[in-house]
Amino acid sequence: MSRTSTPRDPYEVLGVQRDASEQQIKKAFRALARELHPDVNAHDPQAEEKFKEAAEAYEILSDAERRATYDRYGHEGLRSGGYAPNFDGFGSIGDLFDTFFGGGGSPFGGRAGPASGDDVAVAVEVDLLQAATGARVEVSYEAVERCEHCRGNGAEPGTPIETCERCGGNGQLQAVTRTPFGQMVRRVICESCHGDGRVAAQPCHECRGRGRKARRQTLEVDVPAGIADGQRIRLSGHGHAGEAGAPEGDLYVLVSVREDERFVREGEDLITALDVPAPLAALGGTLQAATLQGTAAVEVPHGTQPGEVITLRGQGMPSLRGGRRGDLRVVMNVVIPRRLSEEQRELIGRLQATLTEENMRSDESMFAKLRRALRNQAA
Ligand SMILES: [Zn+2]
Ligand SMILES: [Zn+2]
């Protein structure tokens, strides 16, 4: 390898977080490899170099011990521990894939046995009240399903399925490719039988021999009470059909919770602001605060200060895992009257003239007051 500069951070190369799981690392590498594979990326002279870099990064991060060494000591630590990446010795990129993904593991789907179906994702939106009570929503999505006409085998019913002539039933062909490492022989999936080794003498007219076809599905999905924005619900087996004999993929329902301008959600708690006219804050009184289901009476004690919080227990969101419901925190937004009339101005003037130090004294220290004033400003 002729690279002279310091090797890049393998996490950065694969584009994964430092706490990425084994699965995530494998997935990231597989995606990169697909993109950079010289067979598909002949136009980019740097693809080969980038591919090697990705393979090196993967070799470090896929080995728990090596990864731990790298995490603690970096590339230096790996070198002094005797590890030197050496992909020139592999001979072919096809071999690389075999090494990483097991025999026959071409990145283009060459594998033994029928493939299971892919997952499908569909998005739904609920409002905050639905998120609090739970809701049943209908989702509609396109998914591939088994063709009923041919029962998934791709042949018109009553017609034979024959051994593929092109590959002699192997499902694979040998292909000679020119690579940066020289000529190499690679096995590729037979395009006539798509790897089955068998083809229908008369392809099914419903699915044109594919055994599967896309159909719009609708499904009622229960969104559980307490769901948060961005969470997803997995419905196993509701994704695309697999090849004959293989399981279906899953359906992922991505839930977004519409913003409700009256509330801010903080875990299971809800926060709302209540406008309190300054005189009422001074005298005390009852006001209606917004709740999820409507309104609730809130007793505002006399002498209430801006930013004080009155907690309505159990009026927040339910917990997804069950257990205690969250609270509704009502923040006192004391409003100083504006645009006073002549009469109001005079009334407040008279009040102002009577105020004594006793009226203005609080139980808080100067420091606590400052802190609270700053907090209110930030809110
Ligand atoms: Zn069919
Ligand atoms: Zn074939």
DSSP secondary structure letters along 93-148: HHHHHHHHH-TT--TTS--SSPPPPPPEEEEEEE-HHHHHH-EEEEEEEEEEEE-T
Ligand closest to CA 157: 1
Is residue 110 pLDDT above 50, yes or no?
no
Higher-pLDDT residue of 195, 356: 356
Residue 161 Cα to ligand 1 midpoint, Å, equals 13
Residue 106 Cα to ligand 2 midpoint, Å, equals 17
The Cα 117–Cα 259 span in angstroms is: 35
Residue 213 Cα to ligand 1 midpoint, Å, equals 8
- Least confidently predicted of 29-33, 99-103, 370-374: 99-103
pTM, rounded to two decimals:
0.57
Cβ(161)–Cβ(153) below 8 Å: yes
Indicate the average pLDDT of the chain: 84
Ion ligand 1, residue ranges at CB < 5 A: 147, 149-150, 204, 206-207
Residue 199 Cα to ligand 2 midpoint, Å, equals 7
Cβ(309)–Cβ(331) below 8 Å: yes
- Strands (DSSP E) found in the chain: 120-126, 135-146, 161-163, 172-179, 182-189, 198-200, 212-223, 232-235, 251-257, 264-266, 269-277, 285-290, 295-300, 309-312, 328-335
- The pLDDT score that the predictor gives to residue 354 is 96
DSSP 3-state of 66: helix
User: Which residue bears the tokens 């071999």?
Assistant: 95
- The pLDDT score that the predictor gives to residue 107 is 41
Higher-pLDDT residue of 99, 114: 114
Is residue 142 pLDDT above 70, yes or no?
yes
- Per cent of the chain over pLDDT 70 is 85
- The pLDDT score that the predictor gives to residue 208 is 86
- The pLDDT score that the predictor gives to residue 85 is 59
Residue 187 Cα to ligand 1 midpoint, Å, equals 28
Counting every residue written for the chain, the total comes to 379
Ligand closest to CA 193: 2
Residue 240 Cα to ligand 1 midpoint, Å, equals 15
Listing from the earlier edge strand, what are the strands of the sheet with 269-277?
264-266, 269-277, 328-335, 309-312
**pLDDT for 294-331, tens place per residue?**
999 999 999 999 999 999 999 999 998 888 899 999 99
